C-alpha cells in the first residue's frame, strides 16, 4: 500500500460506540484504558439508555440495586449509595450522571445524535458511520450498546392520528412528565412496564381503564429503603457478590432453590412459596425450586400459588379471575415485579377490560374501540413493548462485506456468534446482541465489554486488521441458542406473544433470540474462545496480505 493510499484510508477514530447506557459507558471507559481513540454517539440528550427514555410513572429496576450496577470501578462502588432496594428511574439517571461525571465521559459523547447507517468499506477495512446530522466518520471498529429493549413497538392500530386527546408511549415519556391528574386515562399493555405504571397512574387519573390481552404472573418486588448497615456490608462484599452473580444462570447473586418442587411435601412447598413471595421479585422464581423453568408440573404449582395470591388480594372474584394467567407457564413471558399491582384493582377508579377475545379494533377521535364497545379517554398510554433484541440494530442501516445488509441477514431470525459478532460484518461487535444471554444485564454487559476490549487489544497488538466470526462458528452458535432452550418451558410463551421469541411483533421471525443456556455457561464459553486465540473467529491482516485465520478456527 502506498503512503498516499494509506493517508486516504486512515480512519478518524479507532472505535465508534453507539449508545450511552450501561453498555456504551462501560465500553467507553474500557476503550480509554486501552488507548483507543473513541467516541460514543447517543440519540438522547443525556446518558442512561433505557433509564434515559423510560420515564413513565413507576419506572424502576426489577433487579436489586447492588447487582444491577456498574462494577468496573471500585470508586463507583465505594462512592455511590443506593437509597432503595429497587431504584426508581430518577435515581438511576442520577447514578448514570454520577458515573459520567466521575470519569469525565461526556467529553467523548455526542448527544442528540442518532447513527443512521454504518457500512464496511472493503478497500480500507474501515467502517463509515453516518449520523442523522450528516456527519461521516471512519472508524476501525464499531461497538453497539443499543440495549435489548429500546426500539419501541407501537401496534398499528387504525385511527391513532384521529385521536383528539393526548397519547404517550411509556418508553418515550415526556421529560417534564404528562399531566394525568383528573383525566380519563386508558392504558394498553400489562407487561413489566404496564404493571409498574398502572398503580401510579390510577393514583393520578380520575379513572384508569386497563386493556389487558394476556394476564401476567406478577410477584411483588417487596421494595423498601436500603438500611445503612446493609449498605456498608454490600459495598464491602461487592466483588464477592459479583462473582456469585457471574456463577448464576441468570447473572443474579442468588442462592439455589430447594431442589425440585415435587421433592417436598405440599405443606413444605407452600411454606417455601410463601418465603419466596416475601423475598420478592425474581427471588420467587429462582430461590424457591430449581425446576420451575423445566418441569411443567412444578411450574404449575408456582403458577397456582400466584393465582391464589391474586384471589386473596383482589376483592372482586371476576376481576381476580381475569387477572389470573392460564395456558402458559410462569416464566414463559418475562415475569414482571409488582408494586401493589393487584391491590390497584381494588380501587374504585380502575376498570379492567379483557381484550383477548374482543381485540382493540381502532383508536377513535374519542378513545378506543375494542370489540363493539367504545371507551372514551382524555389520554391513551401505550405500554406495548419493544421490537426486542434485534429492533434497535436493524433500525440502523448496517452493511457488511459486499454491502450486505444486516437486516437481510437476519430476515429469518438473528445470526451471530456468541451474540457478539456476525459473519460478514468484520470489526463490528454487539454488546448484548441477539444470541447473548437474557439475564441481569449490567453483569452480562460488563463481561461483553471485557471480552470485546480484549479482542480489539489482541488484534492491535498482533497487527490484525479484521476480526470476524466464521460462518461455521456462527451456524453452530445459532443452533446452540435454539437447542439450549428446547428443554425449557421458556418458549411456551410463543402462544402469548413473548418477546423472547419475536412473537410480540407481527411479521417478525419467530425464533428464540436470546441465549437461555445459562449466563454462567455463556461467560465460560466466551472466556474459552478468547483463551483459545479467538476460536471461531477469522483474524486477518491486510499488510501481511494473508488471511491469518485463528488456528483454532480452521
Ligand atoms: P411487553 O412485556 O412486551 O408487554 C407489552 C404489553 O402490550 C403486553 O401486555 C401486550 O399484550 C400488550 N400489547 C401489545 N400489542 C397489543 C395489542 N395489539 N393489543 C393489546 N395489547 C397489546 O413490554 P414491556 O414494555 O411491558 O416490557 C418489556 C421488557 O422491559 C420487560 O420484559 C422487561 O425486561 C423490561 P400481550 O401480552 O402481547 O398479549
Measured from the CB, is residue 384 less than 6 Å from ligand 1? yes
Question: Is the Cβ–Cβ distance between 15 and 138 less than 8 Å?
Answer: no
Measured between alpha carbons, how far is 393 from 407 in angstroms, rounded to an integer?
8
pLDDT at 82 over 60: yes
Domain ranges for the chain: 3-47+105-151+388-467+512-549, 160-382
* Ligand 1 centroid, distance to 155 Cα (angstroms): 10
* Ligand 1 centroid, distance to 383 Cα (angstroms): 6
Q: Name which of 466, 465, 446, 464 is nearest 29 in CA terms.
A: 446
Q: pLDDT tens digit string along 436-487?
A: 999 999 999 999 999 999 999 999 999 999 999 999 999 999 999 999 999 8
Q: What is the mean pLDDT of residues 314-329?
A: 97
430 burial level (CB within 10 Å; 0-12, 13-18, 19+) = buried
Measured from the CB, is residue 432 less than 6 Å from ligand 1? no
* Ligand 1 centroid, distance to 189 Cα (angstroms): 5
* Ligand 1 centroid, distance to 471 Cα (angstroms): 34
* Ligand 1 centroid, distance to 339 Cα (angstroms): 18
Q: pLDDT tens digit string along 25-52?
A: 999 999 999 999 999 999 999 999 999 9
Measured from the CB, is residue 54 less than 6 Å from ligand 1? no
| CA nearest ligand 1 atom 28, residue | 385
Measured from the CB, is residue 214 less than 6 Å from ligand 1? yes
The minimum-distance atom of ligand 1 relative to the CA of 191 is 26
* Ligand 1 centroid, distance to 128 Cα (angstroms): 35
The minimum-distance atom of ligand 1 relative to the CA of 193 is 26
pLDDT for residue 313 = 98
pLDDT at 420 over 80: yes
User: Which residue has better confidence, 491 or 347?
Assistant: 347
Q: Name which of 344, 101, 316 is nearest 220 in CA terms.
A: 344
Q: What is the mean pLDDT of residues 226-247?
A: 98
The minimum-distance atom of ligand 1 relative to the CA of 360 is 19
Span between the terminal Cα atoms of the chain, in Å: 28
3-47+105-151+388-467+512-549 homologous superfamily: FAD/NAD(P)-binding domain (3.50.50.60)
Q: What is the mean pLDDT of residues 181-189?
A: 98
C-alpha cell belonging to residue 160 = 391513532
What's the pTM? 0.96
pLDDT at 6 over 50: no
Measured between alpha carbons, how far is 41 from 131 in angstroms, rounded to an integer?
8
Question: Is the Cβ–Cβ distance between 18 and 24 less than 8 Å?
Answer: yes
* Ligand 1 centroid, distance to 190 Cα (angstroms): 6
pLDDT at 157 over 60: yes
C-alpha cell belonging to residue 88 = 426508581
Q: Name which of 164, 200, 177 is nearest 187 in CA terms.
A: 200
Measured from the CB, is residue 187 less than 6 Å from ligand 1? no
* Ligand 1 centroid, distance to 452 Cα (angstroms): 32
pLDDT at 213 over 70: yes
Q: pLDDT tens digit string along 92-125?
A: 999 999 999 999 999 999 999 999 999 999 999 9
pLDDT for residue 3 = 39
Q: What angle do CA 195, 321, 368 make, to 5 degrees?
A: 55
Measured between alpha carbons, how far is 524 from 393 in angstroms, rounded to an integer?
26
Measured between alpha carbons, how far is 529 from 537 in angstroms, rounded to an integer?
9
Q: Name which of 458, 454, 452 is nearest 550 in CA terms.
A: 458
Q: Name which of 424, 124, 437, 417 is nearest 252 in CA terms.
A: 437
Q: What is the mean pLDDT of residues 207-227?
A: 98
pLDDT for residue 487 = 87
Q: pLDDT tens digit string along 191-205?
A: 999 999 999 999 999
pLDDT at 554 over 70: no
Question: Is the Cβ–Cβ distance between 342 and 323 less than 8 Å?
Answer: yes
Measured from the CB, is residue 149 less than 6 Å from ligand 1? yes
pLDDT at 358 over 90: yes
pLDDT at 493 over 80: no
Q: pLDDT tens digit string along 253-309?
A: 999 999 999 999 999 999 999 999 999 999 999 999 999 999 999 999 999 999 999
Q: What is the mean pLDDT of the chain?
A: 95
pLDDT for residue 9 = 67
Q: What is the secondary structure of 96-148 as a DSSP string?
A: HHHHHHHTT-GGGEETT--EEEEEEETTTTEEEEEETT--EEEEEEEEE---S
Amino acid at each position: 500500500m502506498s503512503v498516499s493510499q494509506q493517508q486516504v484510508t486512515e480512519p478518524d477514530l479507532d472505535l465508534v460506540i453507539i449508545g450511552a447506557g450501561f453498555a456504551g459507558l462501560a465500553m467507553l471507559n474500557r476503550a480509554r484504558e486501552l488507548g483507543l481513540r473513541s467516541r460514543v454517539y447517543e440519540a438522547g440528550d443525556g446518558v442512561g439508555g433505557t433509564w434515559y427514555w423510560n420515564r413513565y410513572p413507576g419506572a424502576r429496576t426489577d433487579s436489586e440495586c447492588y447487582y444491577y450496577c456498574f462494577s468496573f470501578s471500585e470508586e463507583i462502588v465505594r462512592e455511590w449509595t443506593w437509597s432503595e432496594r429497587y431504584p426508581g428511574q430518577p435515581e438511576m439517571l442520577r447514578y448514570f450522571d454520577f458515573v459520567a461525571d466521575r470519569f469525565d465521559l461526556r467529553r467523548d459523547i455526542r448527544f442528540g445524535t442518532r447513527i443512521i447507517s454504518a457500512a464496511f468499506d472493503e478497500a480500507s477495512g474501515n467502517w463509515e458511520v453516518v449520523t442523522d446530522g450528516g456527519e461521516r466518520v471512519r472508524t476501525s471498529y464499531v461497538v453497539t450498546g443499543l440495549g435489548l429493549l429500546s426500539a419501541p413497538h407501537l401496534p398499528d392500530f387504525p385511527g391513532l392520528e384521529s385521536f383528539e386527546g393526548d397519547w404517550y408511549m411509556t418508553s418515550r415519556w415526556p421529560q417534564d412528565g404528562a399531566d394525568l391528574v383528573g383525566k380519563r386515562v386508558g392504558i394498553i399493555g400489562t407487561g413489566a412496564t404496564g404493571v409498574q405504571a398502572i398503580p401510579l397512574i390510577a393514583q393520578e387519573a380520575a379513572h384508569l381503564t386497563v386493556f389487558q390481552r394476556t394476564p401476567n404472573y406478577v410477584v411483588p418486588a417487596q421494595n423498601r429503603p436500603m438500611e445503612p448497615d446493609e449498605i456498608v456490608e454490600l459495598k464491602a462484599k461487592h466483588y464477592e457478590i459479583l462473582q456469585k452473580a457471574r456463577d448464576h444462570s441468570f447473572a443474579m447473586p442468588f442462592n439455589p432453590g430447594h431442589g425440585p418442587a415435587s421433592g417436598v411435601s405440599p405443606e413444605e412447598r407452600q411454606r417455601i412459596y410463601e418465603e419466596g413471595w416475601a423475598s420478592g421479585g425474581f427471588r420467587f422464581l429462582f430461590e424457591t425450586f430449581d425446576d420451575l423453568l423445566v418441569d411443567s408440573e412444578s411450574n404449575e404449582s408456582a403458577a397456582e400459588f400466584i393465582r391464589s395470591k391474586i384471589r386473596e388480594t383482589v376483592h372482586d372474584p371476576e376481576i381476580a379471575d381475569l387477572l389470573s394467567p392460564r395456558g402458559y407457564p410462569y416464566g414463559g413471558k418475562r415475569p414482571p415485579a409488582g408494586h401493589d399491582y393487584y391491590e390497584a384493582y381494588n380501587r374504585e377508579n380502575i376498570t379492567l377490560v379483557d381484550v383477548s377475545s374482543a381485540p382493540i379494533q381502532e383508536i377513535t377521535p374519542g378513545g378506543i374501540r375494542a370489540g363493539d364497545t367504545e371507551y372514551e379517554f382524555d389520554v391513551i398510554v401505550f405500554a406495548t413493548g419493544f421490537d426486542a433484541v434485534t429492533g434497535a440494530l436493524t433500525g440502523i442501516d448496517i452493511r457488511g462485506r459486499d454491502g450486505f445488509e444486516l437486516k437481510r441477514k437476519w430476515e429469518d431470525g438473528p445470526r451471530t456468534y456468541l451474540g457478539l459478532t456476525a459473519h460478514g460484518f468484520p470489526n463490528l461487535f454487539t454488546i448484548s446482541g441477539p444470541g447473548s444471554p437474557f439475564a441481569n444485564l449490567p453483569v452480562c454487559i460488563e463481561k461483553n465489554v471485557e471480552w470485546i476490549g480484549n479482542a480489539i487489544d489482541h488484534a492491535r497488538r498482533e497487527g490484525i486488521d479484521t476480526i470476524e466470526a466464521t460462518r461455521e462458528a456462527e451456524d453452530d452458535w445459532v443452533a446452540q441458542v435454539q437447542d439450549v432452550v428446547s428443554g425449557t418451558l421458556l418458549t411456551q410463551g410463543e402462544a402469548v406473544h413473548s418477546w423472547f421469541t419475536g412473537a410480540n411483533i407481527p411479521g417478525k421471525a419467530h425464533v428464540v433470540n436470546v441465549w437461555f443456556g445459562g449466563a454462567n455457561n455463556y461467560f465460560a464459553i466466551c472466556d474459552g474462545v478468547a483463551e483459545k486465540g479467538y476460536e471461531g473467529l477469522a483474524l486477518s491482516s491486510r499488510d501481511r496480505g494473508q488471511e491469518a485465520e485463528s488456528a483454532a478456527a480452521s
